Amino acid sequence: MDERKDHLWKVAQEAEERIEDLMKAGSNPVGLDVGTSKVVAAKRKGKEIDTGAVSFRSFTKMSAKERDAAISAGALGLQLSAWVEERFQLPEPSLIDLSYETDPEAAAAALRQYWGLGERPIKNMVHLLEAKGTRVFALAENTRTVDAFSLWRREQPYIFLNHLKTPERSRLDAAHELAHLALHKHGGPRGRKAEEEANAFASSFLMPSADVIAIAPRVYSLNQIVELKRRWGVSAVALIYRLHKLNVISDWQCRMFNIQATERGFREREQNGIDREHSAIWQMVMTALWKERITRDHIAKELHIPAFELDYLLFGLASDQCKSVSENGDGAARLRLVPDGWPH
């Protein structure tokens, strides 16, 4: 194992251990059974810890403080999920293990097929993930250089997204983390290879080859790319990469478009951008809770976490709680949130 990989290994291992420690040290009002988690079980048996369980894409760029903040957000997300799931039936995880698949493009196609998505563009990645049983949370501001991360815990997948990134970038991050959940659940490749696989999966999952080739068989200008990219909800740069990969544009065009994209500042901000995606599940949960007169502060108090942390995790929905209440709601104590019929 070379030095860099060894470093990544240690950081990932430390991250997972920290989540376990936080779960144990912090209040555990929902009675999460940390003792049976696979990390603790693995330690007990003296087995190797499955570092694939937590994926941090940019942990080499992260300061220790940011890493701690991200890990805390992870632990809080798990606690909050458990609290909500005592009260609501949320969609069951519907994610296949694709670790056998060595080609990320084929893996993305297999998952699309399993989810019945065909070659259609995905309107809302957060809603799709939620409908398929992944819990999606947002990261707080003190995790600026953390792109996103994901983890499996007790057969439940989680994704944490950074909302300081552009909406297009967040979608790509969500698809990237989905790749880690499906491809690297049992460890698998680490470091650079895993990242390359996840990037390739994300690109083909959001921009299926048949649809891209049908819609954009020939591309002549960057302006055309700026128009087209909204269909797949991706950045201009991500579409340039995909078009090149699918041989729609040549090496030379790819270079030229990339230079122009940089000149026009597309790496910092998108032109013809899309709206930010929000959670549908947490919106419904907060609305239903409000009808029961259970507020953000109530939940924060019960979980012993600051209310603002709750706000971050729930995409800022907790603070909008009152605004989202519909007068015609049924006010059911147990809201059944099922995958079928969810918008995506």
Residues that bind Zn ion (CB under 5 A): 55, 57, 195, 198
DSSP for 275-303?
A: PPP--SHHHHHHHHHHHTT--HHHHHHHH
Specify the DSSP class assigned to residue 232: T
Q: Which residues contact 105 (CB under 8 A, 6 or more apart)?
A: 200, 201, 204, 209
- Residue located via tokens 């490749």: 189
Closest distance between Zn ion and the C-beta of residue 1, in Å? 19
- In the complex with Zn ion, the residue whose CB is nearer, 55 or 287, is 55
* Residue 133: both structure tokens together: 């049983």
Closest distance between Zn ion and the C-beta of residue 104, in Å? 12
CA–CA distance, 230 with 217 (Å, rounded to integer): 16
Number of residue whose CB is nearest Zn ion: 57
- In the complex with Zn ion, the residue whose CB is nearer, 202 or 207, is 202
- In the complex with Zn ion, the residue whose CB is nearer, 32 or 183, is 183
- In the complex with Zn ion, the residue whose CB is nearer, 77 or 91, is 77
DSSP for 76-94?
A: HHHHHHHHHHTT-BPPPP-
Closest distance between Zn ion and the C-beta of residue 131, in Å? 23
- In the complex with Zn ion, the residue whose CB is nearer, 57 or 278, is 57
CB 185 within 8 A of CB 177: no
Closest distance between Zn ion and the C-beta of residue 74, in Å? 15
* Of 147, 163, 162, 21, nearest in space to 78 by CA: 21
Closest distance between Zn ion and the C-beta of residue 197, in Å? 9
Closest distance between Zn ion and the C-beta of residue 178, in Å? 10
CB 89 within 8 A of CB 51: no
- In the complex with Zn ion, the residue whose CB is nearer, 198 or 238, is 198
* Of 318, 324, 279, nearest in space to 299 by CA: 318
